[in-house]
Homo-oligomer: A and B are copies of this chain.
Amino acid sequence: MTMEYATRYRNASRIPADPGRPYVIEQGEGDRAHLFGDLITVYAGGEQTENTFNFFTVEGPKGDIIPAHLHTDTHEVFYVTQGAVRLFAEGPDGKQLERTLTPGDFGFVPKNCPHAYRMERHHTRIVGVAAGPGGTFERFFETLGTPTEQLGLPQRPCVPEPHEFADAAAAYDVRFLPGLRWRTA
């Protein structure tokens, strides 16, 4: 039996509208959105956890590094379950870290630390948890990108308009850092 619910985010979601109920979502069937060439799937958000944490995946092809950014109030997990990810991060002392994560490897970026990543294999999947005392930010991706019912990666890149970056960033604790250079390479 497959249950679907109307929520504030989707007409048909596998996440129950009533946050007190246990539930299961099969692989790929969470709330989906496209952003550039990637598929973001939300399995639990702030409503489910009293705003303490969320749980989502980011899947995509081998590609370019994403824009460097930081979150002033959000700690972030990067846990790779398929493919490979090059993670870039800068600590409060200005020291930079650059490491390749393969399945089972874990990366942690505390709030206020600039970071970026690059998928280094096709069919890469990152499990993400992104939250802090101010709440969770799992809906950033579909606000900047596009919610979808489709399963799988976007058939063509979903590219936001320039003004949409500023709007989504302001709403979801994202500060882009166009001047930041990764000196680790």
Residue numbers of A with Cβ under 8 A of B are 19-28, 30, 43-44, 48-50, 52-53, 55, 75, 77, 79, 81, 87, 89-92, 97, 99, 101-110, 112-113, 115, 127, 129, 131-133
Identify which of B22, B27, B77, B132 contacts A103 (C-beta below 8 A): B27
Copies of this chain, tallied across the complex: 2
Expressed in whole angstroms, the minimum distance between the Cβ of A91 and any Cβ of chain B is 5
Structural contact, A105 and B25, CB atoms closer than 8 A: yes
Structural contact, B75 and A115, CB atoms closer than 8 A: no
Expressed in whole angstroms, the minimum distance between the Cβ of A66 and any Cβ of chain B is 16
Cα separation A108 to B75 with both chains bound (whole Å): 21
Identify which of B20, B27, B52, B90 contacts A52 (C-beta below 8 A): B52
Identify which of B28, B48, B129 contacts A110 (C-beta below 8 A): B48
Expressed in whole angstroms, the minimum distance between the Cβ of A121 and any Cβ of chain B is 16
Expressed in whole angstroms, the minimum distance between the Cβ of A122 and any Cβ of chain B is 17
15 cross-chain CB contacts under 8 A = A20-B91, A20-B110, A20-B112, A20-B113, A21-B110, A24-B99, A27-B106, A43-B79, A43-B106, A48-B75, A52-B52, A52-B132, A55-B77, A55-B79, A81-B81
Structural contact, B55 and A24, CB atoms closer than 8 A: no
Structural contact, B24 and A105, CB atoms closer than 8 A: yes
Expressed in whole angstroms, the minimum distance between the Cβ of A106 and any Cβ of chain B is 4
Chain B residue at minimal CB-CB distance from A104: B27
